[in-house]
Amino acid sequence: MKQMLTLVFVVLLCACQQMPERVDTARSEAPDKSYTVDLPVGWIKQQTVDKRSMLASRDGFLLEFVAITKRPLKEAFPKTKKAATPDMLPAELAELEIAEIKSQDQFTAALSVAENEPAEIGGQEGFQVRLSYKNIRGLEIQRVVDGFADKSAYYQVEFGAPTLYYFDTYYPDFQKVLASFRLSAGDKKTTGGSAQSTFLFGSVR
Amino acid sequence: MRRNSALHLNSSSRPASVRARTRTRFAFAARCCLAALAVSCAVVAAAGRVAPFPDGAALAQVSGNERRVWDQGDEAAGQFARGGVIYESEATTAYVQGVLDRLFPEFQGHMRVAILKSAQLNAFAMPNGRIYINEGLLARLNNEAQLATLLGHEGTHFTHRHGYQSEESVKDNAAFATLGGMVVPLLPQLVAVSSMYGFSRQMETEADVEGFARLKRAGYDVHEAPRVFEHLIAEIKAEDIKEPFFFATHPKLADRVENMKKLSAGVASGGSGTSVADYSSRMTQVRLDNLEHMLSMGRAKSALVMLGDPDRRAQLPPQASYYLGEAYRLRGQEGDIKLAEQAYVQAIEAAPEFAPSYRALGVLRLKVNHYADAQRYLDRYLELAPEAPDRKYVESYLKIARKKAGGQP
């Protein structure tokens, strides 16, 4: 009886968990249809249970990953419990993103930032941060995070991989993913990015 | 203190979204482990004790299971070193080691101290005699006597073999066995976990009492001892930390302050290690690094605990007001931006060559449309820090400020 209950529990658990699937066609759409992005064909992809993140990987999520995440502004940075606002400067968002990653564990807390600069993501003014840290085995991990906020949400497109072999190998794939990111037409109407753009760049280009 | 992430040691390379999927189950498993650990520590305390080490020579006799536990401690030490989390400062480490050796002269050469790059107020002892103290705690203490209180406590965990006893109790406890396979994968890290999360109530009390005796014997002013726990209470209030699950079995911090006061009540005033100036001069860099660390993690309230006190701020270099401004800006409560601005201005007056104050003030002025001021401060920032890592951001702000400043004085 006990074994049967365990089996039922495991089956239920598996049923709730969406399994990874192969990327057959590049174009992928967010669960709420707020953005589209082209993932590398042949990779595996998976959505998180909360449907806030779309993950893709070539060799396994624990080795290298691309993650596209959309969170409500108030829950933009869950670890540090900080909110994003549409009028935040990209540098301020980058500051909060770094704090968020640093707050993950004692190894990321010792990270070093290699680059932190303004960036454009799908036509929205945001930031790009490149950072690295060592994990428990002393393996150096590099991460690149691009992010921006609009009137309703904070978006980030992220790539992480060990410096050894994986980062350089798959970084070009990440760049293609990043370049393909687009807010959907409906979502664009609600963006605050244009206001930010005017403040930062729009009026001076 | 915030809960340490020792159980998440392998998670660094995973995205937050991947970790989120496993967090709930893992947190439950971790809680079960710690519950069992807490229960089993109490069982061991009741069942019988392992005699403390009399001196360093006795350590050569360590064998069997205890040796295996020591090896696990060595492994954890290697993980800290390889993970790049050791705060590299020979002078500071040597100073802290000197205080430890003064407290435990018969163990000199056998107990080794290391500083961890962590803003959390924490310190812990591994079963093999390695004592770790976080940079955040080191920065928060006021003098050497307080540091000695802490090291006396942690050193006693080692000399009284608390790590070994805890690990043994975890293995033997029947309650633990019911957790079955869920716990087995975590066992290699339990030594680190038990050390970092603290020991049983009895062990913590013993470490307080024995540590206090060491403090007195070494000639330190014992009246500084309660103040160490007062720093922890201030931190808990600032960060609004709930009573951690595992520490529910431990003496409450307020009780420990009272115990320390009782212990020191009968001891005459005096003793060494009370010079604030001497300790501050040794900790200047640690404190600045810790402030940057706290602020980069968004821990504005903790930074304000350290900087809100003018006496403590006076122990820091003149640019300390800049960090105060950053703490107010990051806290972001009503009126904080005004306070931040005042602090930045103070920082410029006190340390006119310190570039970040100009950038901070320039950005604030830009956000309230004072473009001429913004341009002046941001230009000065790039003049003082031409290689600034955020140069591209600042140049983009300057473009706006220059264009808009046309009509402003």
Q: Which of A190-204, B182-196, B305-319 has the highest mean pLDDT?
A: B305-319
Across chain A, how many H-helices and E-strands are there? 5, 11
CA-CA distance, B103 to B212, in Å (whole number)? 10
Eight-state DSSP code of residue A202: I
- Closest partner residue to A117 among B18, B20, B393, by Cβ? B393
What pTM was computed for the model?
0.80
Q: Where are the domains of chain B?
A: 6-265, 283-407
Eight-state DSSP code of residue B220: B
Answer whether residue A12 shows pLDDT above 80. Answer: no
CA angle B45, B47, B49 (to 5 degrees): 60
The edge-to-edge listing of strands for the beta sheet with B112-116 is B112-116, B130-134, B123-125
Q: Which CATH number fits domain A17-197: 3.40.50.410, 3.40.1000.10, 3.40.50.720, 3.40.50.620?
A: 3.40.1000.10
Q: Where are the domains of chain A?
A: 17-197
- A-B contacts (CB, under 8 Å): 144
In order, the DSSP letters of A54-85 are EEEESS-TTT-EEEEEEEEGGGSBTTTTB---
Which of B54, B329, B381, B99 is CA-nearest to residue B224?
B99
Q: Does A9 touch chain B (CB under 8 A)?
A: no
The edge-to-edge listing of strands for the beta sheet with A21-22 is A21-22, A44-47, A53-57, A65-72, A153-162, A140-149, A124-134, A112-121
Question: For the segment A134-160, what is each residue's pLDDT rounded down to a tens digit?
Answer: 998 899 999 999 999 999 999 999 999
When the pLDDT of each residue in chain B is averaged and rounded to a whole number, the result is 82
Listed range (A93-107, B71-85, B165-179, B331-345) with the worst mean pLDDT: B165-179
Q: Minimal Cα–Cα distance from B198 to chain A, Å?
A: 17
Q: Which CATH number fits domain B283-407: 1.20.1730.10, 2.70.70.10, 1.25.40.10, 2.60.40.10?
A: 1.25.40.10
CA-CA distance, B28 to B31, in Å (whole number)? 5
In chain A, what residues touch B293 (CB-CB under 8 Å)? 109
* Burial state string for B370-380 with b = 16 or more CB within 10 A and e = fewer than 16: bbbbbbbbbbb
Q: Minimal Cα–Cα distance from B210 to chain A, Å?
A: 30
Q: Does A184 touch chain B (CB under 8 A)?
A: no
Residues 6+ apart with CB under 8 A from A9: none
Residues 6+ apart with CB under 8 A from A13: none
* Cα torsion B62, B68, B71, B76: sign: negative
Q: Minimal Cα–Cα distance from A177 to chain B, Å?
A: 16
Question: For the segment A14-70, what is each residue's pLDDT rounded down to a tens digit?
Answer: 455 568 899 998 899 998 999 999 999 999 999 888 889 999 999 999 899 999 999
Chain A interface, mutation test: which of B5, B11, B13, most A Cβ atoms within 10 Å? B13
Which of A2, A57, A188 is CA-nearest to residue B18?
A57
- Is B12 within 8 Å of A116 when comparing Cβ atoms? no
**What is the rounded end-to-end Cα distance, in angstroms, of chain A?**
71
Answer whether residue A190 shows pLDDT above 80. Answer: no
Query: Using only C-alpha atoms, what is the Rg of chain A?
Result: 18
Could you tell me which chain A residue has the CA closest to the CA of B81?
A138
Contact between residue A70 and residue A97 where contact means Cβ atoms under 8 Å apart? no
> 3-state class of B89 per DSSP?
coil
Structure tokens given for B393: 């951001």
- Closest partner residue to B85 among A90, A110, A118, by Cβ? A110
Q: Does A88 touch chain B (CB under 8 A)?
A: no
pLDDT, position B232: 81
Cβ atoms < 10 Å from Cβ of A176:
14
**Long-range contacts made by residues B108-114, C-beta under 8 angstroms, separation at least 24?**
B108/B56, B109/B56, B110/B56, B110/B59, B111/B155, B111/B158, B113/B151, B114/B77, B114/B80, B114/B86, B114/B87
Could you tell me where the beta strands, DSSP code E, fall in B64-143?
112-116, 123-125, 130-134
In chain B, what residues touch A98 (CB-CB under 8 Å)? 296
- Is B393 within 8 Å of A105 when comparing Cβ atoms? no
Q: From residue B2, how far is each of A30, A78, B5 by CA, in Å?
A: 35, 16, 9
Q: Minimal Cα–Cα distance from B195 to chain A, Å?
A: 15
Question: For the segment B249-277, what is each residue's pLDDT rounded down to a tens digit?
Answer: 456 788 888 889 999 998 888 899 999 99
Q: Is B23 exposed, middle or buried (0-12, 13-18, 19+ CB in 10 A)?
A: middle
B227 versus B41: which is more confidently predicted? B227
Which of A3, A192, A104, A121 is CA-nearest to residue B13?
A104
In chain A, what residues touch B116 (CB-CB under 8 Å)? 106
- Is A110 within 8 Å of B390 when comparing Cβ atoms? no
pLDDT, position B198: 62
Listed range (A123-127, B303-307, B358-362) with the worst mean pLDDT: B303-307
- Is B15 within 8 Å of A55 when comparing Cβ atoms? yes
> 3-state class of A165 per DSSP?
helix
B208 versus B192: which is more confidently predicted? B208
